Chains A and B, each alone.
Chain A
Amino acid sequence: MTRPSRWGWIVSLVALAGVGVVLFFLLSLSTSNRAAYERHYAWLFWVNVVVAGLLALVILAAVVRLLLRLRSGRFGSRLLLRLVGVVAFVGVVPGVLIYTVSYQFVSRSIESWFDVKVEGALDAGLNLGRGTLEAQVNELGARTLAAAERLGEDGAQAQPLVLERLREQLSAREVTIVGASGQILLSAGSAATALTPDRPSAALLRQARSARVASQLEGLDDDANASGAHAPVGAARVRALAPIPSSRLALGEQDRFLFVTQVVPATLTANALAVQAAYREYQQRALARDGLRRMYIGTLTLSLVLAVFGALLLAVALGNQLAQPLLMLAEGVRQVAQGDLTPKPVFASRDELGGLTRSFAEMTGQLSEARALVQRSVAQVEGARANLQTILDNLSAGVIVFDRDGRIDAVNPGATRILRLPLSAYRGRRLEEVPGLEGIAQAVTRRFAAQLAGGEPGERNQWQDTFELQTAPEREKLTLLVRGADMPQEARLMVFDDITELVSAQRAEAWSEVARRLAHEIKNPLTPIQLSAERIAHRLGPKLGAADQALLERSVGTIVNQVQSMKQLVNEFRDYARLPAAQLSPLDLNALVGEVLALYVTEQESGRVRAEPAPDLPAIVGDATQLRQVIHNLVQNALDAVADQAGGAVRIRTEAALDERGELRAVRLLVVDNGPGFPDKVLKRAFEPYVTTKSKGTGLGLAVVKKIADEHGARVRITNLADDKLTAAGEPAPAGRQRGAQVSLSFSNFPKVDRLVATAAVAVARAHP
């Protein structure tokens, strides 16, 4: 149970207790349980007041809190206020209505009890009774006085018979003659009923002496309130006392009094008492009228206040309870909106609101699952795309994707590299707009159109073609193998490969065949030609004159020389075409370089050739003879390149290339010169036979190098050096523009056993530089 709801329950219990106290209050009021009422009235009243005060404070606090929340714009406070308002309205309005009606009813009905006419009637009745009784008293007094005077006039001794007659005349119950001090002298009527007749009281005697006659009413008591029962009706009686005048003024004769007791009629007494009781009751009520009204209305007001407060509290509590799940939902929605899809709390109730929160929690869960799924698939897609992108990026072939309008959609780096054009910048444009590609673009478009129009059934939706392309005048021609295919959504794929090198290799192969045949065909006649020329010189020379002989000698010399040089040429061709298979064995590259450079002692001394062997170079597998020729060719080429230069220098370096894990990847031989470098056009085809920059070269040097390198599984790269690279290598940069060419040979074949040793040696060398 949460704290606010516990508070709500406590407050509600207090309210219920207050209502219970009020009910007890009303009950004790209505059942006229006087003792209980008197005992409990005060504390009940004050307990009610205190409870009402507490409730008022609680309600005030709740309302203030609600208003503060409303002011701070907290979510749900408006709804709560509305709920509270509605429930409070429903609770308060009927209460106030009933209160108003009851108030009117109570005050009117209390007022209606009191009426001037009723009061007047009661007064009159009382006066009537009083008058009747007084009349009776006075009458008895008068008659007693008359009887006493008659007795006195008679002068006779009062006889019992006389008294008895007198009693009958006066219709009295008792007639007594008493002495001056009230002692009974003679009595009539009472003997039968009482042992001792009544004696007049001293006050009565006093009054009788002074006023000649005294009469009074006695025994008319209604101690109904005190004793609970009326006095015997017969007990009400009128007493009259009158002195009996003495005719003989005898001294010593005591005063005598006639004492008459007459019973008041029972009906008269009862009626008079009834009137008096009614009068008293009426007067008491009239006196207590304010109190009565105050009591009823106070109780009414108190119960109204408690009921209203209880209703308000219940309104707040119920409103809270109603608003709770909504607030929970709102909080959940807010969290979801912020992307928090953690499981949401469920409001534990079986009504629709609870169902709502449950549904919301389920929905959030499903949303979370869906999002996880989406994220997973997005991750998969991205992975796939990254894979694809990596593949595309590292594809040597160029890939261009066109959208349905023929605009470039995607380009891989291979395309840029092959075409040497910034194709990525032309994304979203047509291929025709790329300068230099207009021709091929049109050809490709035609090809695609043809594919679309005349797609032969059973053929796959692709085509393949070869294009010659020159993207810029100064660049060499590219030979492209282009493959086109249709993609979904009418996109088109164009894949192309630079097969220039392949063509070049084919050409080299063809040349080798040509060379072999030429060597065979040309070499055979060369020896007879030379022999024939020499025989002519030998036979004819002595027979000719000096001038002719000299001419002959010169011509034969020329023929022999030319044949000789042709023989050499043919030999070289033969060598190129028929290189023997490499005899692979472990060898030390540094030693090999040293052997070859021994032939260039003068150049080394003049500083034109410099060897920079790397220490601890691992052994490689190779054919010493062929590699020797390779080094020789490369050094000779480099020297030729710098021959005309004053400060020309050639460096021969060896180094071990390591991969990122520190393992040996390759052993590299670098021949670097600072000559003019290769023209761009030549660079690409430098390894083809008969491609040369030299005027007198055969163009077979690098072709042989390439061939031998291929035999060894080594990689040959020719690069032109920019000056920054050279200076980066630590060379002092001479004044002026520095250029150069570098030929690198990477050997990656190592002796099986020695490889581990070599790796270890390299690792040690790295650890202890």
Chain B
Amino acid sequence: MPARAWLWLGVLLAAIVVLWPRMARAESVDLQVFKVERSEEGLLLSFSASFELPRSVEDALIRGVPLHFEADAEVLQSRWYWRDKRVANATRSWRLTYQPLTRVYRVGTGGLNQNFETLAEALDSIRRSTRWKIAEPGQVDDDGKHYLEFRFGLDTSLLPRPMQISIGREAAWSLSVERTQRLN
């Protein structure tokens, strides 16, 4: 194979590596409240996100597609010699569905289900969490090496398979926000 072909191959690979993470990354969610506090119960997180469902997402919901929202908080200890160590992890997920038969929005979280007449009410119940326990009291040291990685957003990976492909590139579906905070 000529040297020129290798050169072009290298350029192609480099382009893929550089452009890969930039695809489908758009933040449409604001974190209005983001508060981490230590208490006797442990590490507590309160947040409030503000977002509206884009038209296409709402359309899918009305057509009966269940939407999954997920909040994921991870406490990590930074290590210079290795990958950062995961100290604690907490996940909270919501499942939002619409019942065309009764015209009710339904939010399920954990084993709990709640019905709402309107979409706004249903979303309100998802947007906020207060005093969410992330870590046990003794789990997080006060040494300044720990940090919190928080992610909240629409989890498209739980959508029906073909839909994931058809919405793969649409920015409307990438409803998510990430936040990293150092714990003192």
Seen from chain A, the residues whose Cβ lies within 8 Å of a Cβ on chain B are 7, 34, 37-38, 46, 50, 53-54, 57-58, 60-61, 64-65, 126, 129-130, 133, 217, 220-223, 225-226, 272-273, 275-276, 279-281, 283-292, 294-295
Contact = CB atoms under 8 A, between A and B. Distances in A.
Interface in B152-174: 157, 160-168
Interface in B25-81: 59-60, 63-66
Interface string B1-27: 110010011001100100000000000
B13 to A, nearest CB: 8
Contacts of A272: 101
Contacts of B161: 34, 37-38, 288
Given A38-B157, A223-B108, A287-B65, A133 B113 contact: no
Given A57-B5, A223-B113, A273-B101, A288 B106 contact: no
Given A279-B64, A283-B64, A284-B160, A217 B2 contact: no
A217 B16 contact: no
A133 B101 contact: yes
Given A221-B106, A284-B63, A294 B100 contact: no
Given A287-B60, A291-B166, A61 B5 contact: yes
A295 B106 CA distance: 31
Given A58-B1, A130-B101, A283 B164 contact: no
Contacts of A286: 63
Given A37-B161, A287-B60, 5 more contacts: A65-B2, A225-B97, A276-B64, A279-B64, A283-B64
- SS class of chain B's interface: helix, strand, loop or mixed? mixed
A220 B101 contact: yes
B101 A288 contact: no
B99 interface: yes
Contact of B166 (A46, A276, A289): A289
B63 A283 contact: yes
Given A221-B106, A279-B64, A292 B101 contact: no
B163 A288 contact: yes
A126 B108 contact: no
16 contacts: A58-B1, A64-B2, A220-B99, A225-B66, A273-B101, A276-B64, A279-B100, A280-B64, A280-B65, A286-B63, A287-B166, A288-B166, A289-B162, A291-B162, A291-B163, A292-B165
A514 to B, nearest CB: 108
Contacts of A37: 161
B160 to A, nearest CB: 5
A34 B161 CA distance: 8
Q: Which 4 pairs from chain A and chain B are nearest by CB?
A: A291-B166, A280-B64, A283-B63, A288-B162
A58 B8 CA distance: 11
Contacts of B100: 126, 130, 276, 279-280
B9 A57 contact: yes
A292 B166 CA distance: 7
Nearest to B8: A57
B131 interface: no
Contacts of B66: 225-226
A286 B163 CA distance: 9
B95 interface: yes
A283 B61 CA distance: 10
Interface residues of B, number: 34
B144 to A, nearest CB: 36
A57 B12 CA distance: 11
Interface in B76-132: 95, 97, 99-103, 106, 108, 113
A288 B160 contact: yes
Contact of B101 (A58, A276, A284): A276
Nearest to A225: B66
Contacts of B63: 280, 283-284, 286-287
Interface of B: 1-2, 5, 8-9, 12-13, 16, 59-60, 63-66, 95, 97, 99-103, 106, 108, 113, 157, 160-168
Contact of B162 (A50, A57, A225, A292): A292
Contacts of A280: 63-65, 100
A284 B106 CA distance: 18
Contacts of B12: 53
Contacts of A287: 59-60, 63, 65, 163, 166
Contacts of B106: 221
A133 B157 CA distance: 35
B165 A291 contact: yes
Contact of B102 (A7, A38, A220): A220
B60 to A, nearest CB: 5
Contact of B95 (A57, A221, A226, A285): A226
A291 B162 CA distance: 5
B11 to A, nearest CB: 11
A291 B167 CA distance: 7
Contacts of B13: 50
Contacts of B99: 220-222, 276
Query: Could you say which of B8, B113, B161, B167 has the most chain A C-beta atoms within 10 Å of its C-beta?
Result: B161
B102 A217 contact: yes
Contact of B1 (A61, A226, A290, A292): A61
Query: Could you say which of B59, B101, B108, B168 has the most chain A C-beta atoms within 10 Å of its C-beta?
Result: B101
Nearest to B62: A283
A633 B100 CA distance: 162
Contacts of A292: 162, 165-166
Contacts of A58: 1, 5
A292 B64 CA distance: 18
Contacts of A273: 101
Contacts of B59: 287
A610 B167 CA distance: 136
Contact of A290 (B64, B65, B102, B166): B166
Nearest to B165: A291
A258 B95 CA distance: 35
Query: Could you say which of B2, B13, B162, B163 has the most chain A C-beta atoms within 10 Å of its C-beta?
Result: B162
Given A50-B16, A58-B1, A283-B64, A226 B165 contact: no
Contacts of A294: 165-166
A225 B113 CA distance: 13
A116 to B, nearest CB: 16
A283 B101 contact: no
Contacts of A130: 100-103
B52 to A, nearest CB: 20
Contacts of B108: 223, 226
Contacts of A276: 64, 99-101
Contact of A284 (B8, B102, B163): B163
B102 A295 contact: no
Query: Could you say which of B97, B108, B166, B168 has the most chain A C-beta atoms within 10 Å of its C-beta?
Result: B166
A52 to B, nearest CB: 11
Contacts of B64: 276, 279-281, 283-284
B102 A133 contact: yes
Nearest to A278: B64
Query: Could you say which of A133, A276, A288 has the most chain B C-beta atoms within 10 Å of its C-beta?
Result: A288
Query: Could you say which of B2, B8, B64, B113 has the most chain A C-beta atoms within 10 Å of its C-beta?
Result: B64
B5 A283 contact: no
Contacts of B166: 287-292, 294
Nearest to B9: A57
B9 A54 contact: yes
B177 to A, nearest CB: 22
A294 B168 CA distance: 11
Nearest to A291: B166
A65 B103 CA distance: 67
A130 B2 CA distance: 70
Contacts of A46: 16
Contacts of A54: 9
A273 B100 CA distance: 10
Nearest to A60: B5
